[in-house]
């Protein structure tokens, strides 16, 4: 099961990276930095569900094809996760954006689900609508696990709804 899941994730990543070379690079030119906030459902496919809230900064700089991000997540069970990672915007026309993302970080389970280690890895896929001012309204499904570095690796899936607010709107840049 784990081998199939990892193989499927690697295959999806390969397809996404391949498609990204043919996607509308011009659409991303000049995209601003974003402040992103949202809420969701933690532990979607298991029995320790909770509410999830997050806040992120998405940079306007590029690392090759990737955009850096940093964020913090908390649940209604007092779990918390701070992370920094990368994302790749794939434009599907002018309005829709598909964004795979990856971020290692530090996790504290609070009164919530024990994920088996302090170091956890977040991998996800975002689908968002892009407004004229470049703000985005989207949905993300992500997986959070320790990738087997702990003795126990239950992992969890989270689905969120979020709004990405362009920093240029905030500071008039």
Instruction: Record the pTM.
Output: 0.82
CATH of the domain at 13: 2.40.160.20
Q: Is the pLDDT of residue 156 over 70?
A: yes
Percent of the chain with pLDDT over 70: 81
Element (H, E) at 97: strand 96-108
Number of independent structural domains in the chain: 1
pLDDT at 92: 96
pLDDT tens digit sequence for 21-32: 454 555 556 689
Q: Compute the distance between CA of residue 107 and CA of residue 125 in angstroms, rounded to an integer.
A: 20
pLDDT tens digit sequence for 70-127: 999 999 999 999 999 999 999 999 999 999 999 999 999 999 999 999 999 999 999 9
Q: Is the pLDDT of residue 43 over 70?
A: yes
pLDDT at 5: 57
Question: How far does CA 147 lie from the centroid of its chain?
Answer: 16
Domain around 136 = 2-171
């Amino acid at each position: 099961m784990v081998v199939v899941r990892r193989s499927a994730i690697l295959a999806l990543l390969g397809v996404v990276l391949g498609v990204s070379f043919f996607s509308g690079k011009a659409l991303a030119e000049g995209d601003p930095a974003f402040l992103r906030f949202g809420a969701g459902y933690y532990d979607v496919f298991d029995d320790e569900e909770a509410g999830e809230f997050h806040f992120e900064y998405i940079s306007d700089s590029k690392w090759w094809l990737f955009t850096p991000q940093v964020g913090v997540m908390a649940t209604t069970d007092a779990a918390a996760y701070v992370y920094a990672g990368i994302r790749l915007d794939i434009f599907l026309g002018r309005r829709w954006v598909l964004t795979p993302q990856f971020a290692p970080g530090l996790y504290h389970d609070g009164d919530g689900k024990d994920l088996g280690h302090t170091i956890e890895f977040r991998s996800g896929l975002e689908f968002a609508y892009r407004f004229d001012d470049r703000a985005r309204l989207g949905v993300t499904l992500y997986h959070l696990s320790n990738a087997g570095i702990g003795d126990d690796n239950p992992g969890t899936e989270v689905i969120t709804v979020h709004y990405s607010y362009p920093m240029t709107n905030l500071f008039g840049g």
